[in-house]
Structure 1
Amino acid sequence: MKNIFPDEDRRHALQEAILQGQAYKLAQEDIAFLASEDLRPVRMQLELLKAEHALREHGVRATVVVFGSARIMSLENAQAALALVQEQLQAQPDDESLQRALVLAQRRVSQSHWYDEARLFAEMASHAFQSEGLGDMVVMTGGGPGIMEAANRGAFEAGERSIGLNITLPHEQYPNPFITPELALRFHYFALRKMHFLLRAKALVAFPGGFGTLDELFEVLTLVQTHKMPRIPIVLVNGAFWRRLIDFEFLIEEGMIAAEDVELFVMVESAQEAVAALRQFYAGFPPENAQAVK
């Protein structure tokens, strides 16, 4: 009978092929398996649990969530961008795309005021709700640039921690450098990220923003309106922006919302007014005693 038992070198090579094979990997180490369609429910659970574990480990019980545009810049960056467009336009004065870029760059300079207000709000709120012990509300943002950076920066400059819930996008959104490193979390699923925005939220402050800000804001309003989560202070900063963007009176006139639904939020014009609105809402009891999302 022919001896088909492999020699030692061949035996080792065969074993090595098995050890390196995809099938032999432990399930938790098999990235291709974890990324498969069948494992989507598991990935969603992992995203929920990883963030929950980190926030619980670091004792985060309550948050003040700050939403707003990623495109609003600091004054320094906005002025630098404007100067660049002006320089390009001098070389190509008839370029229509540069003419449009100039208008937008000028608008970015004027919008930088809201970067400063978000930064100041987060600094004031961090002092009020962490340093002063009025309820341990930690500033939480989407972790990216613009208003998100401003809020994380304000908390950083106050010497307090802050949270950033970043998300993977086709054009990678890098975390801003002011997030507390242990509380810089990244998500794949918008739904799980939005859930973590609200699980500990005891206040929401929305600065001017686009689709993402509107999506997040209206989800909170809907959850409060339908009693899926308890009432929290919802503060819209820059009343002129929000009134032009959303005709709340029209929604009432058309019967799409009840008149009392506009009482779910307040509009303010400054960081000081936003902090005052939170203080007034929680006068007499700390925000961490409020209920969480159901």
Structure 2
Amino acid sequence: MSSKLPVNNAQTITEFLNLHRNQLSEEDSDDSYKFAFDDEAFLSRRETIGIRFELELLKPEILLKEHGIDHTITVFGSTRFVSREHALDLEKKATTPEALALAKKALLHSKYYESAKEFGSLVAQYNATQASDADKLRICTGGGPGIMEAANRGAFEAGDKTIGFNISLPREQHPNPYISPGLSFRFHYFALRKMHFMLRARAIVAYPGGFGSFDELFEVLTLIQTKKVVPIPVILVGIDYWNEMVNFKHMVEFGVIDQEDMQSIHFVETAQEAWQIIQNWYQLS
């Protein structure tokens, strides 16, 4: 079988390639003949992990630029908090002491959901006063439920663009419904997701949360401490929670961090206070 390209007829290269492919024996028509970019099994190999890293870095970067998004405020916090309305509904429907206890805890923690929602709205209201996209600060979250949903919701319902960086997990996490069309991204690698949390971040706002929130928070603090990024305000909402969970003062006294490392960290109780710190830091009107 000759694979020489015909030159004296109107057959196109595409037609020739299709003909050549059809002439292959069934034995040769396997995965090795697939285009590399169209071979899912090949792209999933350990040797191609660098390519997958690059794709997860590049895709959101390109699409965010196309949407004119240069600056973000990244909001972290527990996935388990619900709105006050939802918590009251849970309390109303509780039929056992255990369910009632869970509903009361949900109601207690709903203040953080409502605060994050208010914060998203405050940022959106500021953006509405800015003529240029270059001056706007878009709400960015992990795209899931709880605090992430609340911050996205506050901005979305105020008419602003809002971003979600979702992650594939064993217990599948679905994007919340308050992410703008075209700005909901799905990641496989935590490392690349974290990079996008930071690439455009002009502030970090962390509400009470679990392992994931602490992981992301201390990643940011380490980047600032080691001067890998320009210092940005890191705002911890819920003073009692953060003081009980992390004794930063004792870390300074013990000598494992310096007082200078605390300059970016701000403790607040309300959404208004969190937004005020960002306004003061960047001298926003």
CA RMSD in angstroms comes to 2.1
Which residue number corresponds to residue 136 of structure 2?
136
Q: In structure 2, how many angstroms separate the alpha carbons of the residues matched to 1:196 and 1:17? A: 45
State the alpha-carbon separation in 2 of the partners of residues 82 and 260 from structure 1.
45
Equivalent residue pairs, number: 263
| 1:34-183 mapped onto 2 (5 Å cutoff) | 34-84=43-93, 86-87=94-95, 89=96, 99=98, 102-128=100-126, 130-133=127-130, 135-183=135-183
Query: How far is the alpha carbon of 1:126 from its aligned partner?
Result: 1.5
Distance 1:57 1:228 in 2: 27
C-alpha distance in 2 between matches for 1:184 and 1:197:
13
Q: What TM-score comes out, normalization by structure 2 length?
A: 0.87
SS of 2:263 mapped into structure 1:
helix
Q: Is the 8 A contact 1:119 1:153 kept in 2?
A: yes
Q: Distance in 2 between matches of 1:79 and 1:259?
A: 43
Cα distance in 1 for residues equivalent to 2:113 and 2:225: 29
Aligned to 1:17: 26
Secondary structure in 2 aligned to 1:41? helix
Task: Give yes or no for contact 1:156–1:179 (8 Å, CA) kept in 2.
Answer: yes
Q: What amino acid maps onto 2:37 in structure 1?
A: Q
Note the C-alpha offset of 1:81. 3.2
Instruction: In structure 2, give the amino acid aligned to 1:108.
Output: A
- Return structure 1 stretches of 4+ with deviation > 6 angstroms: none
Higher deviation after alignment, 169-178 or 20-29:
20-29
Task: Give 2:184's aligned residue.
Answer: 184
Contact between 1:62 and 1:136, CA under 8 Å: does it hold in 2? yes
Deviation at 1:261, TM superposition (A): 1.9
Matched, 1:252 2:252: yes
d(CA) in 1 for partners of 2:208, 2:69: 27
- Structure 1 contact 187–193 (Cα < 8 Å) conserved: yes
**How far apart are residue 144 of structure 1 and its match?**
0.3
User: How far off is 1:107 after superposition?
Assistant: 1.2
What is the rounded CA distance, in whole Å, between the counterparts of 1:13 and 1:138 in structure 2?
A: 52
Q: Which structure: greater helix fraction?
A: 1
Secondary structure in 2 aligned to 1:181? Answer: coil
Match of 2:281 in 1: 281
Aligned partners of 2:25, 2:235: CA distance in 1, in Å? 61
Cα deviations by residue, 1:157-199 (Å, 9 ceiling, x for unpaired): 1101010000000010000011012110010000000000000
Q: CA deviation at 1:235?
A: 0.8
How far does the alpha carbon of each residue in 1:70-97 deviate from its partner, in whole angstroms, 9 at most, with x for none? 111112222333444x31x2xxx6xxxx
Q: CA deviation at 1:253?
A: 1.6
Partner of 1:292: none
CA shift, 1:105, in A, is: 3.1
Tell me the equivalent position of 2:17: none
SS in 2 for 1:182: coil
**Structure 2 spans left out of the alignment, 5+ residues:** 1-20
Query: Which amino acid is 2:113 matched to?
Result: Y
d(CA) in 2 for partners of 1:240 and 1:261? 20
After TM superposition, give the deviation of residue 15 of structure 1 in Å: 4.3
| SS of the residue 1:33 aligns to | helix
Aligned mates of 2:25, 2:213 — CA distance in 1: 52
Q: Is the 8 A contact 1:18 1:24 kept in 2?
A: no
Instruction: Please list the CA deviations of residues 200-232 of structure 1 after superposition, one character each: whole Å capped at 9, or x if unmatched.
Output: 101111111111111111111111111110011
What SS does structure 2 have at the residue aligned with 1:71? coil
1:66 & 1:137 partners in 2: Cα distance?
12
The residue number in structure 1 matching 2:40 is 31
Residues 221, 17 of structure 1: CA spacing in aligned structure 2 closer, same or farther, 3 A cutoff?
A: same
**d(CA) in 2 for partners of 1:45, 1:19:** 31
